[in-house]
Amino acid sequence: MKDNLKLKGIISLELIRDGKVIDKREIKNTITNAGLALIASLAGDAVAVPFTYLAVGTGTTASDAGDTALETEITDTGLERSAATVSQETTTVTDDTLQLLKSWTATGAKAVTEAGALNAASVGTLLGRQVFAAVNTATNDVLQLTYKFIFAGA
């Protein structure tokens, strides 16, 4: 018997305006090489820092396993990198999915085109990143991002 482990990322985005969902998307994610290396460290290194932050940006260059940061991370309009609500969910096997959830309230307009999961409030290691068609926020819109990392046997 051969053991195999696969890691898959899925991003769910919702844009909520005046209490109504006006845009909803589910997007496959690119797992980064640096993220995989840190996951290996987390398995046995007591000082490794887990992934608990979400960020969005305006970059449009396609995601790649070699990415180490968002291309153009948003640092204003209420959409700054933030600590996420972290939980374990069940996809196939009990607690096989890391879920990061964050809702931001926009204080201005932005065309959000990328999202990522990191392990620090600034800089840090990027676990996953993906680029997508613009989600256009306006003042008082709520952007909700759910980032799932599913660990599954192949």
pLDDT at 2: 56
Model's pTM, two decimal places?
0.93
What digits encode the pLDDT tens for the residues 19-48?
A: 999 999 999 999 999 999 999 899 888 788
- Burial code of 72-91, b = ≥16 C-beta within 10 A, e = fewer? ebbeebbbebbebeeeeeeb
Over residues 2-23, mean pLDDT: 92
pLDDT for position 127 = 96
pLDDT digits (tens, 9 = 90+) for 49-97: 999 999 999 999 999 999 999 999 999 999 999 999 999 999 988 999 9
pLDDT of 1 strictly over 70 = no
